[in-house]
Amino acid sequence: MAGIKAGREECFQVLIERHQLRVLGTITKMLGDEIEAEDLAQQVFVRVWKSAKRYVPSAQFTTWLLTIMRNLVFNEMRRRQRFKLISGGVEFEEVMQTLKDLSTLSPSQKILDWEMQEMIQAAIDQLPTPQRLALVLRRYEEMSYEEIAQVLGASLPAVKSMLFRAREELKRHLRRYLVG
């Protein structure tokens, strides 16, 4: 960031190369649209460039970066709600663990599993945006509760509660599909 602060574009290129997959992957999981995710990821890095002079390393850089990403994703989710667009999400980790490897399944079982994934996605789409982002960061970015709290600007107990409520809500929506 010091190099970017000094206006060195090669430092910015290294930063993008180092973090673009994480940012793009997280946004894609939140929005469910790769093209829109690419646009939003580009906006994240534009904001990093524009904010470089004001950047003060008070936490990990990735926390700051993902906070910028969070703000843009939340804005996009609010925009989508206003226009009633359907957004994508992430698979729920506990439910997804119950699905078998599709390559070993019969065609009819593959269809049933595909339908199950559709049901999971529909349930996740109904989660509030902060809960959905907390799930993405925990499941795909393998972030600790503490890191998620920093990104979301929430307390540690609030993050734990948010994840608990999200999982309970998904279990409630998917209860009839779960075995045992």
Decide which of 115 and 7 is more confident: 7
pLDDT for 6-43, tens place per residue? 888 999 999 999 999 999 999 988 887 888 999 999 99
**CA–CA dist 42, 62 (Å, integer):** 16
Q: What is the CATH number of domain 91-180?
A: 1.10.10.10
Average pLDDT over residues 119-139: 83
Looking at residue 102, its pLDDT comes to 46
DSSP one-letter code for 89: -
Closest listed residue to residue 61, CA positions, set 114, 4, 125: 4
pLDDT band at 164 (very low <50, low <70, confident <90, very high): very high
The pTM of this model reads 0.64
| Token pair belonging to 129 | 């945006």
pLDDT at position 106 over 90: no
Q: Do residues 149 and 159 touch, judged by C-beta distance below 8 A?
A: yes
Looking at residue 83, its pLDDT comes to 55
Q: What separation in angstroms does the CA of 18 have from each of 4, 23, 155?
A: 14, 10, 28
- Note the CATH architecture for domain 1-88: Orthogonal Bundle (1.10)
Q: Do residues 122 and 95 touch, judged by C-beta distance below 8 A?
A: no
* Exposure string over 135-152, b if 16+ CB within 10 A, otherwise e: bbbbbbbebebebbbbbb
Beta-carbon contacts of residue 3 (< 8 Å; ≥ 6 apart): 10, 11, 12
Domain ranges across the chain: 1-88, 91-180
